[in-house]
Chains A and B, each alone.
Chain A
Amino acid sequence: MAMDLGEFEAFVVDQITRVDGGRSLREPIRAYAEQQGIPLG
């Protein structure tokens, strides 16, 4: 699996600190990963 970890890490950390606690982050994270061309198996 190939990805730039730094950018992805920043995105995930931003999401978990900013987003309201009850929401699932699965879809936004998936959308980001796909947008970056990261293969999800």
Chain B
Amino acid sequence: MIASGELQSLAATTDELAARRPLSLAGTPITEGIGLGRAVLHEPRIVVQQIVAEDVKTELARLDIAIGNLRAAIDRLVDTGEETPGETRDILDAFRNIANDRGWLRRLREAVSTGLTAEAAVERVQSDVRAKMQRQTDPYLRERLHDLDDLANRLLHELVGRSFVADHETLPENAIIVARAMGPAALLDYERARIRGLVLEDSGAQSHVAIVARSLGIPAVGNVANIINLADQGDAIIVDGTSGDVYVRPTPDVENAYGEKARLRARRQAQYRALRDKPSVTRDGVAIDLHMNAGLVVDLQHVEETGAVSIGLFRTEIQFMVAHRFPRMREQELLYRSIFEAVEGRAVTFRTLDIGSDKILPYMDKVEEENPALGWRAIRIGLDRPALLRSQVRAMLRAGGGRELRIMFPMIAAIEEFRQAKEVVDQEIAYLARYAHPLPAKLELGIMLEVPSLLWQLDEVCRTVDFVSVGSNDLLQYLFAADRDNTRVASRFDTLSPPSLRALKLVADKARETGTPLSLCGEMGGRPLDAMVLIALGFRALS
């Protein structure tokens, strides 16, 4: 006979054993790269012990001191952030604005005035905020909840006098940070040199912390279900930021395979570096220009490494996506100026705001649409809200004063849309000239060819624009009416099949015939076989 207590203990042991087995989990890739290390659970939660205040005045004073310390700590992060790339600074600025939000502070003080301790007041206010925001289905508003959670947790740590993240003594040399969600600044609190990877349970590629992870080059995976319960502090973890796979307590086979993969990756990078300065010319002497795509200032650090001749596409929407309101013209101008400075004399093609569809701005009214990918987005928004387009164009023209500036308009479906956008540029040039602002030394206006209707307007397009860049990802998904992110349909059609190649050849032939500068920008350009086929079709510039 076995006593029931012994049975329970056996069961617990079995559960523990089950929980300790190797796990392979799938998530959403955030930052490319492989990280091997030990799990550090980011669980900054404080359990509030005392709910009722003994003295309201004292609690208000404690709250004020803690808020003062919190603001100072965030200010320090922002100041340290001077060395970090532009978008991280933007995120921190937005975070600082939330910390200074008068409504939030007023609610905290009101809660204390009802007789709660400062800690209980923080919890009460945060729980009200959470209740309101969890009803939101909009991922951007839910993301804002992570920011507010982060802020509330920081404030609680200030109140109880505890450190918000693992410090130098407790953080392992090869830390993989595992978190349910994170505010944008939390990652910056950890010692960067020791972080090998990041795994998030409830945040995806467009979250603020994901943008910070990308800007720091930390391999990261998001949306990993239940990771916070499945991983224990100190567990071995592998993060594959390229495939989105996460291995908790990996078997020696997996660990060896990934160790080898990481070494292979390092070797390949070294091989690419060795090729960097070799001319990109075919054996029979045809030169191919290789350009780089970027969306973050940090991407530009790789211009030298890659040997790219220019920035073939700079996605301007990231600045808008991380902000808490529309960036002012001056803020946009500063960013564009910093991009020109970062690439030292290379040409930059700025694509005007490509928002809408899956890229929603948190501060912009959400438009319910049946088919957002075919809806109110990109240049369609710019032309319907000309103040938005005007301010962006003015910022580009000012930043490009005395330089070579290329502006590209996305989602043009009819050449008339390009003409309207060009009118906006002309008006802005006239405005700047009137006030004697220096204008770009050279200005070229082009389109991103990604809507199939343009295939039957190629004569007009080539007569009207200064350059064409084929956006192959969207062009082909619209051509086949197959969402490239939908795994059920994405593999049904191949980019290397006669319909897509005939369409691309049509564009290449017309560009050659009319002497219109042509490039292709998209995943096809990054796959060796596809890239070779593009060159065979007549493309001489890939981005």
Q: Which residues of A contact B161 (CB under 8 A)?
A: none
Question: Does A23 contact B528, Cβ atoms closer than 8 Å?
Answer: no
Q: A1-B532, A3-B532, A33-B532 are in contact. Are A24 and B494 (CB under 8 A)?
A: yes
Distance in angstroms between the alpha carbons of A23 and B283 in the assembled complex = 29
Q: How many A-B residue pairs have CB under 8 A?
A: 68
Q: Which of B498, B502, B532 contacts A38 (CB 8 A)?
A: B532
Give the residue among B282, B494, B502, B532 with the most A Cβ atoms within 10 A. B532
Q: Which of B284, B286, B505, B529 contacts A26 (CB 8 A)?
A: B529
Q: Which residues of B contact A19 (CB under 8 A)?
A: 498
Q: Which residues of A contact B496 (CB under 8 A)?
A: 24-26, 29
Q: Which residues of A contact B402 (CB under 8 A)?
A: none
Question: Does B529 contact A5, Cβ atoms closer than 8 Å?
Answer: no
- How far apart are A2's CB and chain B's nearest CB, in angstroms? 4
Q: Which of A2, A6, A8, A23 contacts B497 (CB 8 A)?
A: A23
Interface mask (A1-36 → B, CB under 8 Å = 1, otherwise 0)? 111111011011101100111111110011001000
Q: How many B residues are at the interface, by size bracket?
A: 20 to 34
Q: A21-B499, A23-B498, A24-B496 are in contact. Are A1 and B284 (CB under 8 A)?
A: no
Distance in angstroms between the alpha carbons of A13 and B497 in the assembled complex = 12
- How far apart are B529's CB and chain A's nearest CB, in angstroms? 6
B501 part of interface (Cβ distance < 8 Å): yes
Q: Which residues of A contact B537 (CB under 8 A)?
A: 9, 12-13
Question: Does A26 contact B536, Cβ atoms closer than 8 Å?
Answer: no
Q: Which residues of B contact A24 (CB under 8 A)?
A: 494, 496-497
- How far apart are A34's CB and chain B's nearest CB, in angstroms? 10
Distance in angstroms between the alpha carbons of A5 and B533 in the assembled complex = 10
B535 part of interface (Cβ distance < 8 Å): yes
Q: Which residues of B contact A39 (CB under 8 A)?
A: 528
A-B pairs with beta carbons under 8 Å apart, 24 shown: A1-B528, A1-B532, A4-B284, A5-B284, A5-B286, A5-B535, A6-B284, A8-B532, A8-B536, A9-B536, A9-B537, A13-B505, A16-B502, A16-B505, A19-B498, A25-B494, A25-B498, A26-B496, A26-B497, A29-B529, A30-B529, A33-B532, A38-B532, A40-B529
List the 3 closest pairs (A to B, CB-CB), nearest first: A24-B494, A41-B528, A12-B536
